[in-house]
Amino acid sequence: MSDIPFSPVLLDRLQVVLETMPAVAAMQIRITGYDHDALRIQAPLAANVNDKGNAFGGSLASVMTLAGWALVTLRLQLAGFDAEVYVADSNIRYRAPVYEDLLATASVAPEQDWDAFVTTFARRGRARIGVQTRLAGGGAELSGRFVALAKG
């Protein structure tokens, strides 16, 4: 395994992938940063509002899921792998209506280990890892498992 130094260029490449998906582009989702194993994305409320004037539940789910996907994809890229990453399953808790721009932060679940995930992927060409994503302000949270598969 090689360790590729982190570069904002990697986030730019992930952003391009997000923008190729019409639904994601319509939501105006933007990756806003990565540090210390946490990845942040945001989307404006105006592009994700429902009939009640708060954030649409489907948008909350999408933003949190995409934050997890981007985190796992980035971590594999930093380890020198180009993989297909999918959400395997997730559980979302909606705690309160969200009346502001959506800002989601994804990180590995506390009981998970990035090194074990990457080692398993390197050995088997597939691996799963638990991720948690929270919205700023506490409006919702997602816990999910993401699976990575070797391309080809």
Q: Mind listing the pLDDT tens digit for each residue in 113-123?
A: 999 999 999 99
Torsion sign over Cα 126, 104, 29, 24 = positive
pTM of the model: 0.95
Show the DSSP H helices in the chain as ranges: 8-19, 22-27, 57-78, 114-124
SS3 10: helix
**Among residues 144, 115, 148, which one has the least CA distance to residue 130?**
144
- pLDDT tens digits, residue range 29-65? 999 999 978 999 999 999 999 999 999 999 999 999 9
pLDDT of residue 2: 62
d(C-alpha 24, C-alpha 87), whole Å: 16
Provide the pLDDT confidence category of residue 109 given band limits of 50, 70 and 90.
Answer: very high
Parallel, antiparallel, or unpaired: how do β-strands 38-43 and 30-35 relate? Answer: antiparallel
pLDDT of residue 1: 55
Q: Percentage of the chain with pLDDT > 90?
A: 92
Q: Number of helices (H) and strands (E), helices first, in the chain?
A: 4, 6
For residue 152, pLDDT over 80 is answered with no
Can you state the percent helix, strand and coil of the chain, rounding each to 5?
40, 35, 25
d(C-alpha 145, C-alpha 84), whole Å: 14
What number is the average pLDDT over the span 90-108?
98
Higher pLDDT, 145 or 5: 145
d(C-alpha 69, C-alpha 50), whole Å: 24
Mean pLDDT of the chain: 95
What number is the average pLDDT over the span 83-90?
98
**How is residue 119 written in tokens?**
């080692």
